[in-house]
Amino acid sequence: MATASVTSPAGSRSIDEIRAEFPILERQVHGQPLAYLDNGATAQTPLHVIEEMDRYWTEHNANVHRGVHTLSEEATNLYEGARATIARHLGANRRDVIFTRNVTGALNLVAHAWGRANVGEGDRILLTEMEHHSNIVPWYLLAKEVGAELDWVPVDDEGRLDMAALEGALERGPKLIAVAHISNVLGTVNPIADIVRLAHDAGAIAVVDGAQAAPKLPLDLAALGADFYGFTGHKLYGPTGVGVLYGRSELLEAMPPYQGGGDMIRSVTFEKTTFNALPYKFEAGTPNIAGGIAFGAAIDYVTGLGLERIEAHEADLLRYATEALLEVPGLRIIGRAREKAGVLSFVLEGVHPHDIGTVLDREGIAIRTGHHCAQPVMDRYGLPATARASFGLYNTREEVDALVRAIHKVIGMFR
């Protein structure tokens, strides 16, 4: 296949200049240049973000919110500055932005704190067939605990939500719908603003898993209208172990705390505990301070590049890769929705996805194989697993070419 030029997601900055900011991309794997195509699981981190985290450890390491000494005040300012950066990025009030461990932590927070207070026996919780386990299991546990029922919105053969079925399920009066903004398996970009509007018209709240969307799409939470929206640092070119939950103020104010401990309280006596104001009511104990600061730096990084340009760059890679993979004999792409992000799941006739991943690794190409923590959607398509290539802002058409060459090598080995 002929090598094509690639556009930079940062306008005048070349893709080579951007790639040079990610030290790990200089690695070789099994003697081959690394082609990292597993961004849907974890994206790589630019040097700027790594340096910000290191600077905290080497210059400002202290606990936040409690101390009056210089280091504590510096750490607090950096940590709360990161919260303010994330809030601006979302178009939200900083008091509505809660630091969590990851998006899994964010969804569990909502299921426990809002769910236990508002969902009871016989109530319905509406999910979709394309959800990640993180947006299924917390609701399953809640339903088992309180005697609620789970409803499911089906996915069609192309990987789109059945909107007619969704409207029918909403007519049954669920308390909430929990839905992914972008499917981590299919790449489908769901019409969140429409789904939220339909949910609100039916008297339900809308909880959105934004783990795959936040690194790829400009976010305007006012336009989306979601009641809760969670995403995570490590998929957004930041560190692991830190995420964010946005929630509407009136819902957060009414919710009981998720966990108890230091910093989430105003006062504690033997007789009574009173709780802190938002967002601290939901942030018990010492947080991941370095991670939060680095998360803010990662937001600054992608904002500086321009999320619209990143989205366009990944759309170009997706088109290029889709056309190339459709030419591979025996290869079937899973998820062909028209509105789709830079995720390509596929199966190869006669070859297990794990074998595909193993051979590609020997060629220096990192992809994901398995059920991708989304077994219901695998069951929908009658598959135990797929291979998945997922693109990031530093990937190139040349890496797509390498992926296709390696898949042809797989075919030669197993057929």
- Asked if residue 138 has a cis previous peptide bond (ω within 30° of 0), the answer is no
Residue pair 245/228 in contact by the 8 Å Cβ criterion: yes
Alpha carbon distances (Å) from 313 to 41, 70, 200, 304, 342 = 19, 43, 34, 15, 9
User: Rounded CA gap, 228 and 243, in Å?
Assistant: 13
* Secondary structure element (H or E) that encloses residue 48, with its range: helix 47-55
User: Can you tell me which residue has the tokens 């992809």?
Assistant: 367
The tokens for 294 are 């680095």
Q: Is the dihedral of CA 253, 257, 258, 259 positive or negative?
A: positive
Q: Among 391, 359, 353, 358, which residue's Cα sits nearest to residue 372?
A: 353
User: Rounded CA gap, 329 and 327, in Å?
Assistant: 6
Name the active-site residue from 25, 373, 383, 404: 373
Amino acid identity of 40? G
User: Rounded CA gap, 57 and 52, in Å?
Assistant: 9
User: Rounded CA gap, 314 and 6, in Å?
Assistant: 10
Helix axes 192-201, 163-170, angle to 10 degrees: 20
247 three-class SS: strand
DSSP class per residue in 236-252: TTS-SS-EEEEE-HHHH
Let me know if 92 is a catalytic residue.
Answer: no
157: Cβ contacts below 8 Å, ≥ 6 apart: none
Alpha-carbon torsion, ordered 255, 260, 266, 267, to 10 deg: 130
Q: Give alpha helix (H) positions in 59-155.
A: 70-90, 103-109, 116-118, 137-146
Alpha carbon distances (Å) from 160 to 164, 252, 329, 408 = 11, 31, 25, 29
261 three-class SS: coil
The tokens for 24 are 């790990």
Q: Enumerate the active-site residues.
A: 373
